[in-house]
Amino acid sequence: MQNKRTGFGTPELLFALSVGILLVVVAFPMLLIFFNAFWVDGHFNVADVVKVLQRKETYQALLNSLFLSGGVTVTGTIVGTFFAWLVTRTDLPFKKTMKLLFLVPFMLPAFIGALAWKMLLSPRAGYINRFFMDVLGFDNPIFDIYTYAGIILVETMYLFPFVFIQVSGALERMDPTLEESARISGADLFTITRKITIPLVLPSILSGALLIMLYSMAHFGTVAVLGVETGIYNIPVLIYEKIHQSAGSFDSIRTATVLATVLVITAALIMWTQNRVLAKGKYQIIAGKSFRPTELKLRGLRIPLFAFCVLYIAFTIILPTATIFLVGGLKTYGLPFDMENLTWANYHHILFEWDLTRDSIWNSITLGLASALITMFAGVIVSYVIVKMKVKGKGILEFLGMLPFSVPGSVIALGVILAWSGKFGISIYNTVWIILVAYIARYMAFSLKANSAALEQVHDSLVEAARASGATMAQALKDVVIPLVRPGMVAAFFLIFLPALRELTVSVLLYGPTTRTIGVAIYTLNEDGETVYSAALAGIALIIIVVGEVLIKRLVTSKNGA
């Protein structure tokens, strides 16, 4: 009979590491935001918080955030639900291809899309508006993109996949018995959809809608590109202005922490509501069984609806993407897209001659790789403690690990500014390290999700067998657990690398003179009026992102096949 092991061994070390990682990277910066918002000169002070919230700019930013996120949630939910129904429950032509195409906006940066639509629909210089006024003789622009409607339109294009993915999955798993019974009873397609299909997948619709609201509330790029010129700004944009335009004064930092607190509370309410919705939505009718829903015949609507889908994809994906590449090749912004006005010189200059843009590409790639590697390994450690170890307090670890998933990027950025700008003995502000720390915090939840799912599949008996054969705990982890969870680690790496590559909301608050990322460089070039160079760099960024996505899918597919 073996004696009970005492002392500080591998399990204790893993637990201590997990606690240390999450305390330093997540908990400490988050606590500082609340502390700075409510604590002044050593005293708890709510009166100043109320004063900040009563300022006109704060009040307006909050109203704008609620109005824009509400509008995007409604339109994105309608669009996502409609297309999900089309590709899963009807006889629409080329459904599999359409389903893949509707997911493309998910991997494209929304702020680059906003930049493209600015070039197409700005009132005076937009190519579409100019065509209608100069060629077709219209007196006024057909659409002004610098409006609430314009921002909602663009964000809807890039956020509707949240609903599309959730509703598609629910519709594919749904038992079609009730629909078939209604059809036998003489109900038409519209009645079946309205009274049976939609109510049954309502929890999935609401869950996706709340995710759209959460992300829209946190979006910086789209509102910054399309709204600032006409005085439309949301909370993340106001935080950016306070940090960058007020030279980091105490008043600006305090205002930013109060705004960040508002975002955190709003995000927490959204996530709580989503959990309640999902908890109530566990109907047996959408259990995980492998049903094959009946395909609804569109008949005379089949070709018109297919044409509508093709036009939507062309309008929301192909047109803005082509515009980015074409404007990036113009000798001067505003010239027609004629061959004599196009040149490769801008792309050559961006890639090989201009240090600012070349360094931004290098920074994004190295930051993406470093944050993905570090967060992947840190996620394995924390996930092992959460999934496999019987220790008190691991619920807190899970909460801290998942917290950044529901916290806007601007809040995370502000937290690391407060934590690592010298006040506590460590100053990494204006260096690449502070961006790296923020990325690790922001994407920790991605690593935990992927690694926890992989660890759930590893039976405890495998580790016990290794220990019984004489292996130490560390050897069992290295030789048994790590090889088995490697697919989860690979998934975690790529789930982090690609978002980090195109990230803007966090890095725009943290970059220094030599630490611009691709997203920040595109944004600042556009703000400086360098539209052609901004578009050229955006085009290069899109190529990097798409190539990365393709390589990842091939790598993951080949590993799964092996």
DSSP label of 527 = H
Query: Are residues 516 and 84 in contact, defined by beta-carbon separation less than 8 angstroms?
Result: no
Query: Which band of pLDDT confidence, cut at 50, 70 and 90, is reported for residue 250?
Result: low
- Predicted confidence at residue 304, as pLDDT, reads 92
**pLDDT above 50 for 197:** yes
Question: Is pLDDT above 50 for 286?
Answer: no
Q: What is the pLDDT of residue 285?
A: 47
- Rounded CA separation 155/238 (Å): 19
Pick from 376, 372, 374, 361: nearest CA to 497? 372
Helix axes 486-501, 531-561, angle to 10 degrees: 170
Picking from 6-10, 54-58, 64-68, 201-205, which range would have the lowest pLDDT averaged per residue?
6-10
CATH 1.10.3720.10 domain locations along the chain: 10-39+344-562, 55-307
Rounded CA-CA distance 370/364 in Å is: 10
Q: Which amino acid appears at position 29 of this protein?
A: P
Q: Quick one: average pLDDT of 114-140? A: 90
At 427, give phi and psi (nearest 5°).
Answer: -120, 110
Within 13 Å and on the Cβ side, how many CA atoms surround 465?
8
State yes or no: pLDDT of 79 exceeds 80. Answer: yes
Q: Please state which of the four CATH numbers 3.40.1710.10, 2.40.50.140, 1.10.3720.10, 1.20.1250.20 is assigned to the domain occupying 55-307.
A: 1.10.3720.10
pLDDT of residue 360: 92
Q: Is residue 560 over pLDDT 60?
A: no
Half-sphere exposure of 335 toward its Cβ, with a 13 Å CA cutoff?
16
279 has a pLDDT exceeding 80: no
Closest CA to 25 of 560, 419, 365, 474: 419
The pLDDT value given to residue 456: 77
Mean pLDDT of 352-375: 91
More confident residue, 296 or 385: 385
Write down the residue that tokens 């622009």 correspond to.
141
Give the angle subtended at the CA of 365 by the CAs of 364 and 370, to the nearest 5°. Answer: 100
Q: Give the right CATH number for 10-39+344-562 from 1.10.10.10, 3.90.1150.10, 3.60.20.30, 1.10.3720.10.
A: 1.10.3720.10
Ranking 9-18, 272-281, 356-365, 427-436 by mean pLDDT, the lowest is 272-281
Nearest to 296 by CA among 201, 182, 165, 169: 182
Q: Which residue has the higher pLDDT, 70 or 396?
A: 70
Residue 507 has a pLDDT of 92
- CA-wise closest residue to 234 among 210, 248, 217, 209: 217
How far is 223 from 399, CA to CA, in rounded Å?
Answer: 30
For 97-153, the three-class secondary structure string (H helix, E strand, C coil) is HHHHHHCHHHHCCHHHHHHHHHHHHCCCCCHHHHHHHHHCCCCCCCCCCCCHHHHHH
The alpha-carbon radius of gyration of the chain (Å, integer) is 25
Residue 137 has pLDDT above 90, yes or no: no
